[in-house]
Amino acid sequence: MNDEIDRSLFRYVWKHSRVQQIWILVIVALSMPTYFLAFDIPKLIVNGPIQGQGFETVGATQKVLPVAIGNPFGDQSLTLFEGFELDRMGALVALSFAFLGYVIINGLFKVYINTYKGRLGERMLRRLRYQLVDRILRFPIAHYRRVRSSEIATMIKDEVEPLGGFIGEAFAQPAFLVGQAGAALLFIMLQSWMLGSVALAILVIQTALIPRLRGRLRQLALQRQLTARELSGRVSETVDGAVDIRLNDSSNFERSDISTRLAKIFFIRFNFYKAKFLIKFLNNFLAQFTPFVFYLGGGFLAIRGDLDIGQLVAVIAAYKDLPGPIKELIDWDYQRLDAQVKYTQVVNQFDVSPLAPADSQAVQTDQAPGLTGPITFRQVSALDDSGNTLLNALDLTINLDERVAVIGATGGGAEIVADTIVRLVAPSSGTLNIGEAPLASLPEWQAGRRFGYAGAEPFFAQGTARDALMSGLRHAPMRPAPEGMAMNAADKREAGASGNPVLDRQADWIDYAAAGVNDEAELAARITNVLRLVGLEDDIYAFGLRSNLSDTATETSGAMILEARKKFLDRLAKGENASDVDPFVATKFNTHLTLLQNLVFGSVSAPEFLSEDFSADSPLWTILAADELDRRFYQIGRNAAAIIVDLFGEVSDNIQILERLDLIDPDDLSEFEAALRQTEGLDFPEVAPEDRQKFMHVAFNYCEPRHRLGLINDDLCEAVVASRQAFRARLPEHLASAFAFHDPDEINPDVSLQDNILFGRIADERSGAVDRVNALLREILEDLGLSYSVIERGLNYDIGTGGRRLSLSQRQQLGLARVLLKRPQFLIVNRGLSALDARTVEKVIQRALEMSKSSSDGFGVLWVTATESHSAMFDRVLNFSRGELVSDEAGKQFVRQPVPA
């Protein structure tokens, strides 16, 4: 495939859709005769059967609808069919039906042509968009720093969109319109050369004048496109930087900036409309000027008898069809210029060189051949964008089986060594070879599979943790998609017709061989292994335990979970720390649950109950009133509020304590103060419903061991427990069906896996209870062979856009795990764990180095870090400072044998 995208839109269209464009021209040409004939018929009907020309005598007949080929004016035509011999009424019927027939044929032609054009346009649009994205994937690395993603996205999404419509019509539309206009004009000429000449003269003025006026419109349209694109870039920057903007109180500067841009866009658009409507006026005027001449001049001729009325009617009828095509033709011409401008605008942005050659990213389902070392730097220097030296004349040889620590402060050149090896930074001078060949010539598919690079800010697309891990293994469609999911023949044909690749997105893209495994089960083991290595296993495990049972459909069956629950409770009861968990017992108040949780004693997966915000008309209030719990909850809530208002009312410095308590929002303190005053001394029935509910809300979240305000007594606990069953029965039907009770013999799909197994709450005031419970839980899941299924659930955790639901350290760990999973031949970690504490990093390095020494899938390592103490674990230590290699020595742990000369 040629790497150039044509600068001329027409050349581009012609190159990719020649055959289709010619075909459509042929169809347009074929549609012309009927189009022309349709004009003639009204005149024949009016002059013939209606006015009676040729039917002057009773019983007279005429031949109608002859078929002839050749010169329609002269005698030389070849008459194929002389026509039907019909009387006046018969001729009227025949001619009218012929008219109808032509209308239908013209209509059908139009349908076919428009559909064909539409498909052609959409295909070309698909091709263009695909080509643009393809080019993005092949941009030189440094270019990514210069482009704004949202602008690029706007270009591909919005700016090329109108081109699709235009491309489909690029050749056919003008041909069709010229044909139409020509036919109409020719017809007028045939009827009256005088009127025809007038129409032609005005036409010439129109076509010459209007495009000239539109020059300004075009210019404005271009500005409109550019400013809109910049606006979209700016808005997305505002979103990305919103946190910083607000932390620095610069939101008003953003407001003013956006407003200034909007003003600019407004004036461009306003001027555009002014020009547009002025031109429209001129255009309409010229179009209507012609009928003015026809009525005056044609009428004059007709009255004098130089023109028969039928002819004049036909001329006027034909003229009706002239301004339309002409106007459209002028519009088309405008669109052409506009499309060309837009096209050039967009294509220029994507005309970056040097693009990575397409074959460097070729689809390879085979294993990538191994790299042959060593990596040799000879006098390699690198500069940043502003010309500062990052790396100065480096001479260095690294074998692909070495384990090297590269030490240096940020900006000292250490990270540049890593970046040049994976070609994120191109050397400005010097030679950088791998084996005998220049490193730059290494195809991307080989480098991408054989080098493993973990940087400080790994990128993850929106998806699950598993998707993030697998993203390093999706090299090629390895195995076809399951039956029924695969691309069908039509999909493939369309892809081909638009120059898109026939790569099935639904295929299984996971390269098991790259991960060194044969199937899903082995992959699972490897994933666990790698997660443990980077220290992320516990986190993922915790995600799994915390995920709601109904969240992910994994194979953990309810029976298994119940068994785990039974085993867990069994072991807990037998152990020394039986009271680490406060179990759910239907007949007992659970002090570790809030009051409301104690009452509900289960979960209601309905929106009314999911949020803690119960509206004034929530069924909850009436249910509570039934057992007079409302009065007691109100009293507890009011007492709690009174204590809190008393403690925090005046002191504003200790707000964070209040926030931690999670009973009353600090912002609502004054509201509660007012409510307390209003309800002072009132009996419950006298209190306004809003105030009642306000205080009851506080009571709902109250939990004695946590808040310790001493507001709950045994009597209340008994009352709450007594109401549990009744509560369930009183729920309205739609809520009752969404309700799951804490039943020892049932799983509850709406709470987490952990809660399902513990079937209780951890008594977290007992020192070490959380750790002990977690350890026991793990042990039991391990015993039951459920460990991986928990991890699997954890891997289904949605990590958010760019992994934002993970901490930076978790993202870095996940990034390293992704790289290790694909078994690189040479691992490069470029400050890839900078967010982790030194002790954890040390452990990770140790385990990674151990893995690198394994016989089957060992690898070389280059680890860039600022922490010198880690260097002891490596075979070789390079120290960088100010872009220079200052020392190159064997690691302290391992003394290298001197190489024999």
Give how far the C-alpha of residue 81 lies from the chain's centroid of Cα atoms, to the nearest Å.
Answer: 64
For residues 185 and 196, is the Cβ–Cβ distance under 8 A?
yes
The rounded distance, in Å, linking the Cα atoms of 861 and 400 is 8
The rounded distance, in Å, linking the Cα atoms of 635 and 711 is 9
C-alpha distances in Å from residue 455, one per residue of 809, 812, 837? 12, 8, 16
- Structure tokens, 736: 């009752």
Write down the least CB distance from residue 765 to another protein, Å.
Answer: 5
Using a 10 angstrom Cβ sphere, with 0-12 exposed, 13-18 middle and 19 or more buried, the burial of residue 246 is exposed
* Residues binding another protein (CB under 8 A): 643, 647-648, 651, 653-654, 656-657, 660-661, 705-706, 708-710, 765-768
CA quadruple 344, 349, 355, 357: dihedral sign? negative
The rounded distance, in Å, linking the Cα atoms of 44 and 536 is 88
Write down the least CB distance from residue 656 to another protein, Å.
Answer: 7
Write down the least CB distance from residue 643 to another protein, Å.
Answer: 8
Residue whose tokens read 């692909």: 400
For residues 877 and 404, is the Cβ–Cβ distance under 8 A?
yes
Residue number with CB closer to another protein (3 or 668): 668
Residue number with CB closer to another protein (651 or 729): 651
Residue number with CB closer to another protein (93 or 770): 770
The rounded distance, in Å, linking the Cα atoms of 196 and 219 is 35
| Nearest Cα residue to 16 out of 153, 157, 163, 142 | 163
Residue number with CB closer to another protein (423 or 772): 772
108 φ/ψ angles, rounded to the nearest 5 degrees: -65, -40
Write down the least CB distance from residue 581 to another protein, Å.
Answer: 14
The rounded distance, in Å, linking the Cα atoms of 624 and 629 is 5
C-alpha distances in Å from residue 205, one per residue of 200, 216, 293, 320? 9, 19, 15, 18
| Nearest Cα residue to 121 out of 497, 500, 502 | 497
Write down the least CB distance from residue 835 to another protein, Å.
Answer: 18
Write down the least CB distance from residue 740 to another protein, Å.
Answer: 31
Residue number with CB closer to another protein (484 or 710): 710
Residue number with CB closer to another protein (326 or 645): 645
C-alpha distances in Å from residue 677, one per residue of 638, 669, 779? 11, 13, 54
Residue number with CB closer to another protein (194 or 643): 643
Write down the least CB distance from residue 769 to another protein, Å.
Answer: 9
Residue number with CB closer to another protein (9 or 641): 641
Using a 10 angstrom Cβ sphere, with 0-12 exposed, 13-18 middle and 19 or more buried, the burial of residue 690 is exposed
Write down the least CB distance from residue 766 to another protein, Å.
Answer: 5
Residue number with CB closer to another protein (451 or 648): 648
Write down the least CB distance from residue 831 to another protein, Å.
Answer: 23
Write down the least CB distance from residue 754 to another protein, Å.
Answer: 21
Residue number with CB closer to another protein (659 or 671): 659
- Structure tokens, 328: 């459209």
Residue number with CB closer to another protein (147 or 642): 642
Write down the least CB distance from residue 641 to another protein, Å.
Answer: 14
Write down the least CB distance from residue 637 to another protein, Å.
Answer: 16
Write down the least CB distance from residue 657 to another protein, Å.
Answer: 4
CA quadruple 311, 317, 319, 321: dihedral sign? negative
Write down the least CB distance from residue 659 to another protein, Å.
Answer: 11
Residue whose tokens read 């419970």: 773
Residue 635: DSSP 8-state: H
Residue number with CB closer to another protein (436 or 765): 765
Using a 10 angstrom Cβ sphere, with 0-12 exposed, 13-18 middle and 19 or more buried, the burial of residue 719 is middle
Q: At what angle do helices 714-730 and 619-626 cross, to 10 degrees?
A: 130
Residue whose tokens read 């009387």: 87
H helices of 351-501, in order, are: 414-421, 444-450, 465-470, 489-497
Give how far the C-alpha of residue 640 lies from the chain's centroid of Cα atoms, to the nearest Å.
Answer: 47
H helices of 294-398, in order, are: 299-304, 309-320, 323-350
Residue number with CB closer to another protein (686 or 715): 715
Q: Which residues are CB-neighbours of 413 under 8 A, at least 6 positions away? A: 390, 391, 392, 394, 880, 881, 882, 883, 884, 885
Strands (E), 35-142: 61-64, 67-69, 78-81, 84-87
Residue number with CB closer to another protein (57 or 767): 767
| Nearest Cα residue to 569 out of 560, 558, 557, 581 | 581
Residue number with CB closer to another protein (712 or 720): 712
Write down the least CB distance from residue 716 to another protein, Å.
Answer: 15
The rounded distance, in Å, linking the Cα atoms of 414 and 406 is 6
Residue number with CB closer to another protein (239 or 657): 657
For residues 456 and 814, is the Cβ–Cβ distance under 8 A?
no
The rounded distance, in Å, linking the Cα atoms of 272 and 251 is 31
Residue number with CB closer to another protein (400 or 595): 595
Write down the least CB distance from residue 867 to another protein, Å.
Answer: 18
Write down the least CB distance from residue 840 to another protein, Å.
Answer: 13
Write down the least CB distance from residue 839 to another protein, Å.
Answer: 10
Residue number with CB closer to another protein (393 or 709): 709
Give per-residue burial for 843-858: e unless 16+ CB within 10 Å, then b.
ebbebbbebbeeeeee
Residues found in the chain? 901
